[in-house]
């Protein structure tokens, strides 16, 4: 009897200790989500030896590294990427099907964060009327706000408006993005506030931004940058006013011909500005200062601008990531000092990756190339005229999708599904087109693997087009210099996923994880409801 009683007491103590360890009240004071725009997974490994101990390496050393993390939908663009990271779902459900898409109701292109019902705050520009209203699901930041009765704060920060707005969700206290041109300020919209807080005004007046209008040269001797291609090559765009895309770049001199302060977006200093502003926000908003968890959503976008301009194998990309690593270290040091070691949790991922410049791939005998969209459109219009005796069957072609004039098709006495299939059968014969699917197929067939499953996860019944086209691998609709993204292939889907901080154990895995797992994982860590359309699963193996 004594032994039994002793066993029960020990069991009770152990159970209580275990329950205390998983107590949802033992939450981090601050969750920091970091999205690096256009970051391939191999940037972690290729540039590893050049990184400091305080940035990427600190996350890997102290936290958990998910090495086989992928996007599980098409298209891999910035707007859908940021939305998917924070909602835990795909465009099929959150509705952000691209950065810009054709709205079938109003018959015109719309922008993922555009909102004409609001005005810019901090700028008089009509171009900055932004909100998250086109995203139809909640983010984990929204669920945290609801859980804390709106006491927990959410702040979104990025160079790009969509990179700040979509992650922060519908209930954010504010999202701030960078207005370049001749202004060089962080701004927001009346969706959030009617005037900028004092700390934002102080930052804008501080001349921090102006201090980065200087020379951009490699941080270290360029001859040591052996992890990237030649500085002088035929695969990079560079800046207007400079004959070659080669270091150094005098940003102050080049600014006049390159959008004034917008030139900073296409330099590593754009990331430094975001880091500066994020550090100011921690103090200005008193993030992590009480027991209600706050959320700080940071997106580093200059990596994407530089990747598009110079390509993924450029010296410019390598230098940018070496410098970003130091900016991450600055942010982590600020968190240590202002929130406290062990009081915050961080995750880092990307909104998509990118393909090597096809023109470069061709030089090393890898199949790659460029789509001739004008020729495709001409052939398709000739086919439609010959087949249906109509020249206005197509309303729009964008994002590898074709939107049909359904009213015209009905007026011709035809079934939309039959016309869709006829177009599918025609386009699949075109050069460099790998696969073509009709909306009817997406609506009636359930796919679980392959490109087809990714297409279906990106297909929104109300917003997507009638026809979806898939180019051959490494064939893109883009100029012959610079990189882009958007496919469901590994060069676009494989991105980093690092966690570290409170509640995260040290480790790594090659087990496949998906971008939609991030939001449920953070929600589980906080003990809050999952975002309302989340389809991902919590990664329980990363938590202590």
CATH number where 382 lies: 3.30.1360.150
Q: What is the pLDDT of residue 391?
A: 86
Q: How confident is the model at residue 18 (pLDDT cuts 50, 70, 90)?
A: very low
In this structure, is residue 481 part of a structural domain?
no
Cα–Cα distance, 63 to 184 (Å, whole number)? 35
In total, how many domains does the chain have?
Answer: 2
Cα–Cα distance, 211 to 207 (Å, whole number)? 6
Cα–Cα distance, 117 to 516 (Å, whole number)? 30
* Claim to verify: residue 421 and residue 514 sit in the same structural domain: no
- Please provide the average confidence, as pLDDT, over all residues in the chain: 95
Beta strands in 37-112 (DSSP E): 64-70, 100-103, 108-111
Q: Looking at per-residue confidence, does 352 or 24 come out higher? A: 352
* Claim to verify: residue 339 and residue 380 sit in the same structural domain: no
What letters, b where the CB count within 10 A reaches 16 and e where it falls short, cover 264-287?
A: bbbbbbbbbbbbbbbbbbbebbeb
Q: Considering the entire predicted model, what is its pTM?
A: 0.94
22-35: per-residue pLDDT in tens? 455 679 999 999 99
> What stretch of H or E contains 158?
strand 154-158
What letters, b where the CB count within 10 A reaches 16 and e where it falls short, cover 442-452?
A: beeeeeeeebb
First-last CA distance in the chain: 36
* Claim to verify: residue 145 and residue 48 sit in the same structural domain: yes
Paired tokens of 186: 């962080």
Cα–Cα distance, 476 to 486 (Å, whole number)? 9
In this structure, is residue 315 part of a structural domain?
yes
In this structure, is residue 25 part of a structural domain?
no
* Claim to verify: residue 467 and residue 496 sit in the same structural domain: no
Q: Which domain holds residue 511?
A: 30-361+488-542
360-400: per-residue pLDDT in tens? 999 999 999 999 998 999 999 999 999 999 889 999 999 99
Domain boundary among 442, 471, 500: 471
430-480: per-residue pLDDT in tens? 999 999 999 999 999 999 999 999 999 999 999 999 999 999 999 999 999
Q: How confident is the model at residue 21 (pLDDT cuts 50, 70, 90)?
A: very low
Is the distance from CB of 74 to CB of 515 less than 8 angstroms?
no
CATH number where 190 lies: 3.40.720.10
* Claim to verify: residue 309 and residue 440 sit in the same structural domain: no
154: left (phi over 0), alpha (psi -120 to 50) or beta: beta
In this structure, is residue 18 part of a structural domain?
no
**Burial of residue 104 (number of CB atoms within 10 Å: 0-12, 13-18, 19+):** middle
Cα–Cα distance, 541 to 529 (Å, whole number)? 19
Instruction: Point out the catalytic residue in the list 78, 89, 188, 320.
Output: 78
Q: Is the dihedral of CA 493, 499, 504, 508 positive or negative?
A: positive
115-165: per-residue pLDDT in tens? 999 999 999 999 999 999 999 999 999 999 999 999 999 999 999 999 999
Identify whether 493 is a catalytic site residue: no
**Closest to 451 (Cα-Cα) out of 135, 174, 70, 178:** 70
């Amino acid at each position: 009897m004594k032994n039994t009683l002793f066993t029960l007491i020990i069991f009770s103590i152990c159970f209580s200790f275990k329950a205390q360890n998983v107590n949802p009240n033992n939450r981090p004071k601050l969750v920091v989500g970091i999205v690096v725009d256009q970051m391939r997974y191999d940037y972690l490994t290729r540039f590893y030896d050049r990184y400091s101990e305080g940035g990427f390496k600190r996350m890997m050393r102290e936290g958990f590294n998910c090495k086989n993390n992928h996007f599980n939908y098409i298209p891999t663009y910035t707007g859908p990427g940021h939305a998917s990271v924070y909602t835990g779902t795909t465009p099929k459900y959150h509705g952000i099907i691209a950065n810009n898409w054709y709205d079938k109701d109003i018959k015109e292109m719309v922008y993922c964060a555009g909102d004409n019902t609001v005005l810019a705050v901090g700028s008089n520009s009509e171009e900055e009327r932004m909100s998250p209203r086109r995203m139809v699901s909640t983010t984990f930041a929204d669920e945290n706000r609801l859980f804390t009765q709106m006491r927990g704060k959410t702040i979104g920060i990025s160079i790009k408006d969509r990179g700040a707005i979509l992650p922060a969700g519908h209930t954010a206290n504010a999202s701030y993005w960078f207005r370049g041109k001749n202004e060089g300020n962080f701004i927001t919209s009346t969706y959030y506030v009617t005037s900028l807080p004092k700390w934002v005004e102080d930052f804008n007046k501080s001349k921090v931004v102006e201090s980065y209008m200087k020379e951009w040269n490699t941080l270290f001797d360029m001859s040591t940058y052996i992890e990237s291609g030649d500085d002088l090559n035929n695969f990079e765009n560079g800046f207007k006013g400079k004959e070659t895309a080669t270091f150094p770049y005098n940003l102050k001199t080049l600014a006049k011909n390159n959008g004034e302060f917008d030139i900073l977006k296409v330099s590593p200093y754009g990331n430094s500005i975001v880091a500066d502003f994020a550090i100011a926000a921690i103090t200005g908003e008193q993030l992590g200062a009480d027991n209600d968890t706050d959320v700080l959503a940071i997106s580093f976008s200059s990596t994407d601008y530089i990747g598009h301009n110079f390509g993924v194998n450029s010296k410019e990309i390598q230098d940018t990531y070496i410098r970003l690593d130091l900016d991450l270290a600055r942010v982590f040091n600020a968190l240590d000092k202002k929130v406290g070691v062990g009081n915050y949790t961080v995750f880092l991922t990307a909104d998509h990756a990118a393909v090597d410049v096809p023109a470069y791939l061709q030089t090393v005998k890898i199949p790659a190339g460029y789509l001739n969209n004008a020729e495709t459109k001409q052939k398709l219009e000739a086919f439609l005229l010959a087949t249906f005796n109509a020249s206005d069957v197509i309303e729009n072609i964008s994002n590898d999708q074709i939107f049909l004039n359904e009213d015209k098709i009905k007026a011709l006495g035809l079934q939309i599904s039959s016309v869709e299939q006829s177009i599918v059968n025609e386009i699949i014969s075109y050069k460099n087109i790998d696969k073509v699917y009709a909306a009817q197929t997406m609506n009636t067939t359930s796919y679980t693997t392959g490109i087809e499953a990714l297409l279906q996860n990106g297909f929104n019944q109300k917003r997507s087009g009638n026809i979806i086209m898939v180019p051959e691998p490494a064939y893109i609709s883009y100029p012959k210099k610079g990189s882009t993204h958007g496919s469901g292939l590994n060069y676009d889907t494989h991105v980093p996923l690092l966690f570290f901080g409170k509640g995260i154990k040290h480790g790594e895995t090659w087990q496949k994880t998906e971008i939609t797992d991030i939001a449920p994982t953070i929600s589980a860590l906080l003990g809050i409801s999952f975002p309302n359309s989340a389809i991902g699963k919590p990664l329980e193996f990363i938590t202590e």
